[in-house]
Amino acid sequence: MLRRKQQFRTQVHQWKDALLFSFALWVAHRLWEPWHPKLFDLRTIEPFQDFIWLFLVIVPGAPLVLESVRFYDRPLNAPRFDTYLTLAKGCALVTMGLVIVLWVLKINLARVVIGLHGVVSFAMLVASEEILRAVFRTRYGQLQIKRRFIVVGTPGDVASLRADLTSTALDGMEIVAEVDIQQSRIPDLVREIHEKAPNGVILAAKHTYFGDIEAVIQACELEGVEVWLLADFFKPQISQTTLDDFRGRPVLVFRSAPDDSWPRLVKAGMDTVCAAIALVGLAIPFLLVALLIKLTSKGPVFFSQLRCGLNGQPFRMYKFRSMVTDAEQRKQELAKFNEMDGPVFKVTHDPRVTPLGRWLRKFSVDELPQIFNVLKGEMSLVGPRPLPVDEVKRFDDVAHRRRLSVKPGLTCLWQIKGRNNVTNFKEWVRLDLEYIDNWSLWLDLKIICMTVPVVLKGTGAK
């Protein structure tokens, strides 16, 4: 993992641990509060409000203590015994530190509370670690941490890099293909990218292959795939690049999509929380729509199809069925009526659509089951609409694949600026790339707010 990504992940865990240490102090005080009068024949214990200022010590201090015992340096799959032994040392040091602070400042807080704080903190952090381990074992967790790479370089450089990777914990990194820069050509690399759907390409080549390196970077830029250039031979000033390091080697990262950041983390949290709330709130409408579909036409309630997700990785997308059951078989019959320029298929008054399906499509009700895809981490609330795998394979311009560099979404700029009124696929892609290049949380919120009236009016629906 790149050092900058590791630092970002560490900062997230440090804030989480600081909040748990702070909450543990309040819990310890509440646990001791009913016992204090009974044991010491006193009516009350000092109110917790008098010690809130200790948060100013705990919030910055506790993560620093855990960092000093190298708690954050462990790999994700570290043995439990080693993890919790290190955690116990950290909690003990935090407890000792609080005792010293209270003694120096002569603060009258029961020492039992501080002792309980150490125990409660350890218990909470252990529970937090177990929850994270459980999440990382799920499909959703694997999607968040697993990264697939293609390594491009000379056989010697590739072998050296693979040896470095296998000698240390990979933290979810997987090498899915190796491409010899001396023997292979750019079409071979592009074919591997299409087949393996990697999250990035690692370039490990000597300076004598500058021309080939440039060609690889240009090809990956069009594909919307990250490139990690192991640049231990020069440090050029290249626009839209990030200088980082990988296993001690300087790396130039060429990125054409938004990088990991606090806003991206907030976006992921919003996706999960909003999708969960929507799933609960729409449970009854879901059942009513399912019942109507079952009563008005033969066939299953849901329609599923393989769509291209992040980096082109196929996933199964769900919709309420709005067409007859043999719609896919009849698609070829209607090919001559296709109104969309490019690989996408769109027809006004499609005869395969059921009467109820026309209403479902008009108000985008058929798209609601994709909330499950958002919860699974395969889609986002806002992002380019996912296209069927066979349509992506028919892209006549490789630059169009850059729309795959972010998670697909329930709504997007195309949904609010043109929806199905856009008949030129290049215009559709332009809107998607405009979203990617100008992404921000504010833009996501703006698109969500503008989607509501568009959907309610049924504007542009077919």
Residues 330, 355: one domain? yes
pLDDT at 233: 61
Does residue 143 lie in a domain region?
no
CATH number assigned to the domain comprising residue 184: 3.40.50.2300
Nearest to 382 by CA among 311, 321, 319, 431: 431
Query: Of the candidates 203, 226, 254, which is a domain's last residue?
Result: 254
Q: Per-residue DSSP letters for 121-137?
A: HHHHHHHHHHHHHHHHH
Instruction: Residue count of the chain, please give it.
Output: 462
* Tokens encoding 70: 């190298």
Residue 204's beta-bridge partner residues? 153
- Same domain for 155 and 110, yes or no, is no
Same domain for 267 and 249: no
CA distances from 389 to 197, 299, 319, 431, 455 (A): 12, 23, 16, 20, 26
Place of tokens 């450089």: 157
**What pLDDT is recorded for position 422?**
66
Question: How far are the Cα atoms of 209, 217, 279 from residue 147, in angstroms, in the given order?
Answer: 26, 19, 29
Is residue 181 assigned to a domain?
A: yes
Is this model's pTM higher than 0.75 or not? Answer: no
> Among 198, 220, 254, where does a domain finish?
254
- Give the pLDDT score at 101: 83
Residue 462 lies in a domain: no
- Taking the CB of residue 414, how many other CB atoms lie within 10 A of it? 22
Whether the CB-CB separation of 200 and 173 falls below 8 Å is answered with: no
**Has residue 15 been placed in a domain?**
yes
Q: How far apart are CA 203 and CA 87, in angstroms?
A: 38
Distance separating alpha carbons of residues 25 and 28, to the nearest angstrom: 5
Which residue from 52, 67, 51 is spatially nearest to 11, judged by alpha carbons? 67
Q: How many domains does the chain have?
A: 3
Structural domain harbouring 43: 3-137
Instruction: Decide if 338 is inside a domain.
Output: yes
Same-domain check for residues 384 and 339: yes
Q: How do the pLDDT tens digits run along the chain, 462 residues long?
A: 677 777 888 888 999 999 999 999 888 888 876 655 544 444 445 666 777 788 888 899 999 999 988 898 887 778 888 889 999 999 999 989 888 887 887 777 777 788 888 999 999 999 999 998 888 888 887 777 778 899 988 888 888 888 777 655 556 788 889 888 888 788 888 889 998 889 899 888 765 677 788 888 888 888 888 888 886 665 444 346 777 878 777 787 888 888 878 888 899 999 999 999 999 999 999 999 999 999 998 889 999 999 999 999 999 999 999 998 888 787 777 777 777 777 777 777 788 889 999 999 888 899 999 999 999 999 999 999 999 998 898 888 877 888 999 999 999 988 887 665 666 788 888 899 999 988 999 999 999 999 888 888 766 555
Q: Are residues 290 and 369 in the same domain?
A: yes
The pLDDT value recorded for residue 295 is: 92
Task: List the one residue out of 102, 89, 14 whose CA is nearest residue 57.
Answer: 102
In a domain, 374, yes or no: yes
Nearest to 238 by CA among 262, 213, 258: 213
User: 153 and 130: one domain?
Assistant: no
Do the Cβ atoms of 295 and 314 come closer than 8 Å? Answer: no
Exposure letters 178-207 (e unless 16+ CB within 10 A, then b): bbebeebeeeebbebbeebbbbbbbbbbee
Residues 6+ apart with CB under 8 A from 181: 152, 153, 154, 205, 209, 212, 213, 216
305 and 430 together in one domain:
yes
State which of 254, 289, 317 marks the end of a domain.
254
Residue 161 lies in a domain: yes
pLDDT given at position 318: 95
72 in a structural domain: yes
220 and 189, same domain (yes or no)? yes
155 in the same domain as 118: no
Closest to 415 measured CA to CA, from 375, 355, 370, 350: 370
Kindly provide the residue ranges of all beta strands, DSSP E only, lying in 309-415, ordered along the sequence.
Answer: 314-320, 380-382, 409-411
pLDDT value of residue 368:
94
Q: Are residues 210 and 283 in the same domain?
A: no
Q: Examine the domain organization and report whether 133 and 193 are in the same domain.
A: no
> 89 and 56: one domain?
yes
